[in-house]
Amino acid sequence: MEKEPISEDNQVKSMAIANIKFKKGFWYDRIELIRKTVIPGQWKALNDQIPEAEASHAIENFRIAAGEIKADFYGRVFQDSDVAKWLEAVSYSLAAQADPELEKLADQVIDLIVRAQQADGYLNTYFTIAEPDQRWKNVRDLHELYCAGHLIEAAVAYYQATGKQKLLDAVCKLADHIDTVFGKEAGKKPGYPGHQEIELALVKLYHLTKNKRYLALSQYFIDQRGSQPHFFTSEAEERQEESKKHYNDLFDYSYSQSHLPVREQTVAVGHAVRAMYMYCAMTDLAVETGEQDLIKACQRLWNNVTKRQMYITGGIGAQDHGEAFTFDYDLPNDTAYTETCAAIGLVFWAQRMLLLEAKAEYADLMEKALYNGVLSGISLDGQSYFYVNPLEVWPASCEQRYDLSHVESTRQEWFGCACCPPNIARLIASLGQYVYSFSRQAVFVHLYTACQASFELGGQTVKLTQQTNYPWEEEVIITVSTEKTVEFTLALRLPGWCKNPDLELNGEKVTLDQLTEQGYAQLTREWEKGDQVVLRLPMPVERIRANPEVRKNSGKVALQRGPLVYCLEEVDNGSNIFALVLPRNNQLQAGYDPNLLGGIVQLEGEAVKIDRSLWNGELYQANADQYQVTPLKAIPYYAWNNREAGEMLVWITEN
Amino acid sequence: MEKEPISEDNQVKSMAIANIKFKKGFWYDRIELIRKTVIPGQWKALNDQIPEAEASHAIENFRIAAGEIKADFYGRVFQDSDVAKWLEAVSYSLAAQADPELEKLADQVIDLIVRAQQADGYLNTYFTIAEPDQRWKNVRDLHELYCAGHLIEAAVAYYQATGKQKLLDAVCKLADHIDTVFGKEAGKKPGYPGHQEIELALVKLYHLTKNKRYLALSQYFIDQRGSQPHFFTSEAEERQEESKKHYNDLFDYSYSQSHLPVREQTVAVGHAVRAMYMYCAMTDLAVETGEQDLIKACQRLWNNVTKRQMYITGGIGAQDHGEAFTFDYDLPNDTAYTETCAAIGLVFWAQRMLLLEAKAEYADLMEKALYNGVLSGISLDGQSYFYVNPLEVWPASCEQRYDLSHVESTRQEWFGCACCPPNIARLIASLGQYVYSFSRQAVFVHLYTACQASFELGGQTVKLTQQTNYPWEEEVIITVSTEKTVEFTLALRLPGWCKNPDLELNGEKVTLDQLTEQGYAQLTREWEKGDQVVLRLPMPVERIRANPEVRKNSGKVALQRGPLVYCLEEVDNGSNIFALVLPRNNQLQAGYDPNLLGGIVQLEGEAVKIDRSLWNGELYQANADQYQVTPLKAIPYYAWNNREAGEMLVWITEN
C-alpha cells in the first residue's frame, strides 16, 4: 500500500472551539439553547428527574459501579455513553464560553466516573456491576469498546476546554488497558468493536497525547475488521454460542460492517451509525497516513452513501430493521429510519472528508445534514427529541401500522435508548469546529454564519468576521483583520444548491469561474486589515426532483430554499396534505416571519386538491379529477412538529 | 332482537354446481385448469412429491394418526385443512364433471381420513399424533375447530357431488362430538374458535342434514364470541398461561375479532381471513334468522371493508403483521398483505350478502375480487401460487427490505403454510355456485360467462344459455329455453364499473332506468322458448382514482377495463416502471392478443419518462424535468409474473 503522509505544512485542520465566537444568528441561537436548556435538561434526564420521560439511571450506574450505593445496573449496556456524550457537549460549551457552575458539575461527574474505574484501568458500569467476569467476551454485541470510545472523546474535549487532566488520565489508563487486551501480539484478542466508535476516539487521543500507540490501536481495529477467520465467530465459539450473527441471529456481519475488510467495501451496508463512525475513523487514518487504498475506500463509500442512499434531508438508513442502509435508491419516505445519530455521523464524516480534500461537495452535505436531518432531531425549545426522522408522517399510520411502529409522530423527552439527544447536544455545541478548516496558507469557509474567528496564517494571527443572516438571507460579508499584510488563500464555499453565486472583493465584482477550485472560490492575495468580501448566494425557491431510480418519489418534488429542505404540515395546510398537488408553474413566495417557529422563512403559494364533493364515500371512481385551488404553506423541515401533532410531508405531488 | 325469517318462497339460493355447465371461455378454461392440472398438482404437493416445493406431509399425517405408520406429525397445526380443502375442490370438480379415477382417489383419501377418526368422533391429526391429552385446551391458537370446519365443508361438498355418505357420517360424528364439548350447558366449554371457519361449515351441514343442532352450534359460536368473561382468557388461565393474547403475546383479541361481541363490531379489524369467514357465518345466520341486528352488523362491516379498507383488486389486509386489516384508507401498495385467501373470503362473503339482499354492489365486488385479487394468486399454468398479492412490486426491495420480507416477487410451488393453493382451487372449482342465484320467481345473473344452466322456476325447468366472450368482449347473449311459457324475473346485473349498459329483448331496446332495482335490470314477463336478451357492457379503458384519503395513491391512476384491473410489468415496459408518467390526455388502446398470456386484452399507449441523460448519477437536482415519450403497455393484474420476474405496478403516476 502506497503511503503519502500529508506534510505538516499543507495539513488542513479543523479549528479549536475557543478560537471562534458565534454572533447572534441561526447557529448562535442553537448553541445558546444547548448551553442554557439542553445541557441542564439532559442532566436531569441522566438523573431521572424528568417525571414522564423514560428512565435513564446512567449517573446512578456510575455510583453503583463506584461502590457508593448498592443497586442493580439499569438500562442498556451502553448507558455509560450517554454520560460521556453529555460531558463532551459540556466540554465544547465550556470551550466556547466559561461557566464555572457547569464546570464544577462536570468536575463532579468526572470524579464519579474516575471512582468507578477499576484498578487495571477498566471502566464500564454495566460489566463492573452486572457481569464482572464477562469483560471483553462479547465485544460484538455488548458495546464495551464503544463506551470506552465515548469516554475518550469526552476526556479529550474536556481537557481541551479546561486543561484539566483527570479524565484524560483515566481514559489513557483505559486505552492502555484495552491495548493490552486487543492486538496482533500473542495472547491478545485479534478483535474489534461490534459498534465502531473507539477507532475515531483513539485518533483524537493520539492527536492530543501524541502517543502513537493509540493511533496504532485505531489502525489495528480498522485493519483487522472483517478479516478471516472472523473474530466475532471465534469469540462466539469461545462463548460456546452457535450464532454467527448479532443479537440472537437477527443480523449478519454486514450489520456491523465486518462482513468484509474495510478496504474491500464498496457500498454502505448495515447499521447506519456504525457505518458513519467507521467511515470517520477510516478517513481519520487516511488523513494521517495518506494511504491510497483507504482514501479510495472512503471516497467510494462516500459516493455510495450520498449519491445512492441518502434522503434529501441528509438522513440515512432506509429501514428500521437493523437501523440500517438497504440498497441503492431505496428511499421510502414513511418507513425511513433516518436516525438523528446517523445524520450526525454523516456530519462527522463530511468534516473529516474535508480534511482529506477540500471539496465543496463534502461541505454541502455537511450543511444539508446539519440544517435538516440533524436539526429535526431536537425541538425548538430544546426539550424533546426525534430518534427517527422520516420524510412523511401520517400519525394514524404510525400509531396503527406495525411496520411504522418505529416512527414517533411527536418528539419525546427521552428514550430508553437515548443515543440521539446527547449526540445532537455535542454536535451543536462543537459547531465551532465545522465552520472553517485551515492550513498555514489557507482558510476554507465551509459554513456561513455570523461569527468571529482567529487563525494563525503565514505566521500571523488573522481575524475573520462573518456578518450574515444566513440561511434566511443571501448575503455574507467577511471582513479580514490582521496587524500586518499577510498572504493567504481565502477559500469560500460556493454551495452546490446555489446556481448564481456572486462575489465582491472590496466593492469590486470578482469573476468566479477562474477562481473556483473544487467548489471553493479561492482568493489568494496579500490581505490587509479591513479587506472585505461580500458573497451573495441567491436563494430562489427550488423544486427538487429525485433521481428517477428513487421509485417512491416518482411524480413528486421537494421544496428547497438555500440549504433548507421544506415540508408541509397539517397545522398549516389542513388534514390530508398528501392529497395536495402542486401545479408545475405555480410560483411560491418566500417570506420571513419573525414570529413563526422562532423566526423562519416560510414559503407560500397555491396548490390544488381534488374536489371532495365528487366522492360521497366512494373508495374508487373513474370520473373524479376536478381540482380546487387551495393555499399551500411550507416551513423548514427541521421546524416541523413544534406546534401540534399532525401530518408532515416533504415530497409533494406535482402536476 | 327482531327476527323475520325469510319465507321459503322468497328465499334466494345459490345453485348446485351440477346444474350449470360452463362453455369455452374465461372461467371454463380456469375450471378445466383446476381439474386437469391444479388438483393433480396439489395431490402431489400434499404427498411431498414436488421436489423443490416446501414440504406438506399432510397425507402422511393422516396415515400416522390412523396408526398405519409410525412417525412424527409434521407441519402446521392446521395441516389437515389442506387435505380437506383439496377434497372440497375435488368434490366441486366431480359435481361439474364425472371423473371416476379422481373419485376413486378421493374415496381412498376419505377412507384414510375416517380411519384417523377416534372412537368418540374426534378427528384431528395434530392432536391425535402429537398432543392427545391437549385436545380442546387451546382453541384460541391451535385451529382445532378450524380444521373441523374444513372437514365438514369437504364432506358436504363430497356428498353433494357423489351422494356418498362416508365422510358426511364422519363429520356429523365429529360435529356431534364438538357439540358435547362446546355450548352454554353446564359442563360444556363456553368457547369458540380462534380461527373462524366451523361456523359457516355448520350452516352448510345444517342445510344438508336439516339437523338444527348444527345451526344452533354455529349460532352459539357467533353469539358467544367476544362476550365477557372472555373465553380465551379463561382458557389461558386453565392452561396456567398468563397471556391474554394470541401467539406469544403478539396479537390482542381484535386479531381474531373476539375483542367485542360480533353485533357491536363496526370496523373490520384483525386477521383478514378470520374476519371474512366470520362475516360469512354472520351473514349465513342473518339469512336464516332474519335477525335485524345481525343484518345491520353485516352491512356495516361490508361498508367498512369495501369502502374503506379494500384495494382496487379486491385484496384486503393492509399489513403483514397479523395478516390484518389496519384502519380506514390505509392502503399502501407495496407493503400490502392482501392474502389470496382473504380475497377468496371476500368472494365467499359477497355471495352470502347477495343471498341476504340482491344488490349489484355485492356482485360487483365479488367479480372484482375474483378477476383480480383472487386470480393473481395462481399462475396461468396452475402450478404456482402467490400468498401475498401487493399492488406494486420492486423485486430488489422485496429481497432486501425486512418490512417487505413477506412479499415474494415470484409465485411459489407450495408453502409451509399452504392455505391459499387449495383455497383457490376449491373456489374456482365451485364457481358454478356464483354465476346465478334464484328463488322460485326470479333468476339473478351475477356473473357473465359462457354457460348453460337450468332452474326450477314457477314449477318448470327453465334453461338459460349465456353466450359471451366476457371479460374480453362487451356483449352477453342470454337465451331462454322452456317447455311452456313461464313467468319469472330475469334480473341482470348492471356492473357498477359500466357507465352505459345497453339491453335488448328479442331485438328491441329496453329502457333500463325503470327496470333497474338495486343495480339489477329486472325483466319480469312471460318467457317463451327462444326469448333472447342481449346485454352490451361497454368497456372503455378507464382511469380510476382512489379517494383522496388514500394517501398512497395521491396523483396516481389505476387502469381498468371492464372488471379487470391492469398493471404495468417490467417485461413489457423496461426497468423502473415507477418512473413512467401517464399524461392526463393520452388515450390508451385496448386490443386482444390471443398469443399473450393465454389470450388477453392488453392496453397500449404512450407515457413519458424523465430524460435520464440529465441525471449523470446525481441523486437530487433542481432542474431535471424534461420528459421523453415512451410506449406503455398494460396487462391484466391477474396475469402478471407469468413470463419473467420483474417490477409490477398498478397505481401509475399521472400528469
Q: What is the pLDDT of residues B147-205, one digit of tens each?
A: 999 999 999 999 999 999 999 999 999 999 999 999 999 999 999 999 999 999 999 99
Q: What are phi and psi of A452, to 5 degrees?
A: -130, 130
B465 band by pLDDT with thresholds 50, 70 and 90: very high
Average per-residue pLDDT for chain A: 95
| Mean pLDDT, range A267-277, rounded to an integer | 98
Q: Write out the residue range of the structural domain in which residue A598 sits.
A: 542-654
CB contact under 8 A, B548 and A579: yes
Residues of A in contact with B330 (CB under 8 A): 396-397, 400-401
The last residue of a domain, from among B510, B536, B562: B536
Fill in the DSSP letter of residue B339: B
Report if residue B444 sits inside a domain. Answer: yes
Grid cell of A485 as nine digits:
499584510
pLDDT by residue (tens digit) across B73-112?
A: 999 999 999 999 999 999 999 999 999 999 999 999 999 9
| pLDDT given for residue A606 in this prediction | 97
| pLDDT given for residue B242 in this prediction | 77
Chain A's closest residue to B617, CA to CA, is A307
Beta bridge mates, A333:
none
pLDDT by residue (tens digit) across B347-356?
A: 999 999 999 9
CB contact under 8 A, B619 and A306: yes
| Mean pLDDT, range A348-363, rounded to an integer | 96
pLDDT by residue (tens digit) across B106-139?
A: 999 999 999 999 999 999 999 999 999 999 999 9
Query: How many independent structural domains does chain A possess?
Result: 3
Report if residue B92 sits inside a domain. Answer: yes
| Mean pLDDT, range A100-124, rounded to an integer | 98
pLDDT by residue (tens digit) across B151-162?
A: 999 999 999 999
In this structure, the answer to whether residues A528 and A592 fall within a common structural domain is no
pLDDT by residue (tens digit) across B493-504?
A: 999 999 999 999
Q: The complex's ipTM? A: 0.95
In this structure, the answer to whether residues B296 and B441 fall within a common structural domain is no
Domain of A498, CATH number, reads 2.60.420
In this structure, the answer to whether residues A449 and A591 fall within a common structural domain is no
| Mean pLDDT, range A62-83, rounded to an integer | 96
| Mean pLDDT, range A599-625, rounded to an integer | 90
Report the range of poorest mean pLDDT among A110-114, A282-286, A542-546, B52-56.
B52-56
Report if residue B164 sits inside a domain. Answer: yes
Beta bridge mates, B319:
B324
In this structure, the answer to whether residues B150 and B58 fall within a common structural domain is yes
Report if residue A7 sits inside a domain. Answer: no
| pLDDT given for residue B187 in this prediction | 95
pLDDT by residue (tens digit) across B289-340?
A: 999 999 999 999 999 999 999 999 999 999 999 999 999 999 999 999 999 9
The last residue of a domain, from among B519, B536, B553: B536
A420 tagged catalytic: no
In this structure, the answer to whether residues A598 and A528 fall within a common structural domain is no
HSE at residue B73, side-chain half, CA atoms within 13 A, is 18
Cα distance between residue B70 and residue A185, in whole Å: 58
Report if residue B106 sits inside a domain. Answer: yes
Cell 343484518: give the residue.
B295
Q: pLDDT at residue B248 above 70? A: no
Report if residue A11 sits inside a domain. Answer: no
When CB atoms are compared, the residue of A556, A581, A619 closest to B547 is: A619
Chain A's closest residue to B582, CA to CA, is A555
Q: Could you write out the DSSP letters of every residue in A473-539?
A: SSEEEEEEEESS-EEEEEEEE--TT-SS-EEEETTEEE-HHHHEETTEEEEEEEE-TT-EEEEE---
In this structure, the answer to whether residues A332 and A476 fall within a common structural domain is no
Radius of gyration, alpha carbons of chain B: 25
pLDDT by residue (tens digit) across B407-460?
A: 999 999 999 999 999 999 999 999 999 999 999 999 999 999 999 999 999 889
The last residue of a domain, from among B536, B565, B591: B536
Identify the residue among A302, A319, A361, A403 best suited for mutation to test binding to B, counting B beta carbons within 10 A and taking the highest: A403
| pLDDT given for residue B466 in this prediction | 98
Q: pLDDT at residue A397 above 70? A: yes
* Gap between the terminal Cα atoms of chain B: 53
In this structure, the answer to whether residues A524 and A547 fall within a common structural domain is no
| pLDDT given for residue B333 in this prediction | 98
When CB atoms are compared, the residue of A576, A609, A610 closest to B551 is: A576
A323 tagged catalytic: yes
CB A438 within 8 A of CB A455: yes
CB contact under 8 A, B555 and A655: yes
Q: Is B382 helix (H, G, I), strand (E, B) or coil?
A: coil
Q: pLDDT at residue B624 above 90? A: no
Residues of B in contact with A653 (CB under 8 A): 554-555
| Mean pLDDT, range A71-83, rounded to an integer | 96
Cα distance between residue A636 and residue A639, in whole Å: 6
Residues of B in contact with A396 (CB under 8 A): 327, 330
In this structure, the answer to whether residues A573 and A594 fall within a common structural domain is yes
Cα distance between residue A132 and residue A248, in whole Å: 22
Cα distance between residue B391 and residue B651, in whole Å: 7
In this structure, the answer to whether residues B407 and B423 fall within a common structural domain is yes
Report if residue B5 sits inside a domain. Answer: no
Report the range of poorest mean pLDDT among A239-243, A261-265, B224-228.
A239-243
| Amino acid sitting at position A148 | A
Considering only CA atoms, which of A16, A24, A205, A208 is closest in space to residue A96? A16
In this structure, the answer to whether residues A222 and A157 fall within a common structural domain is yes
Report if residue B10 sits inside a domain. Answer: no
| pLDDT given for residue A246 in this prediction | 79
Q: Between A284 and A52, where is the model more confident?
A: A284
Alpha helices in A34-120 (DSSP H): 39-46, 58-65, 80-96, 100-115
Residue A19: Cβ within 10 Å count: 18
Identify the residue among B578, B619, B625, B653 best suited for mutation to test binding to A, counting A beta carbons within 10 A and taking the highest: B619
| Mean pLDDT, range A491-504, rounded to an integer | 97
CB contact under 8 A, A619 and B401: no
Catalytic residue among B398, B419, B451, B567: B419
In this structure, the answer to whether residues B251 and B398 fall within a common structural domain is yes
Q: What are phi and psi of A63, to 5 degrees?
A: -65, -40
| pLDDT given for residue B5 in this prediction | 45
CB contact under 8 A, A397 and B330: yes
| Mean pLDDT, range A409-415, rounded to an integer | 94
B1 band by pLDDT with thresholds 50, 70 and 90: very low
In this structure, the answer to whether residues A286 and A423 fall within a common structural domain is yes
| pLDDT given for residue A9 in this prediction | 57
Write the CB contacts of A2 (distance below 8 Å, at least 6 apart in sequence).
Answer: A290, A291, A292, A293
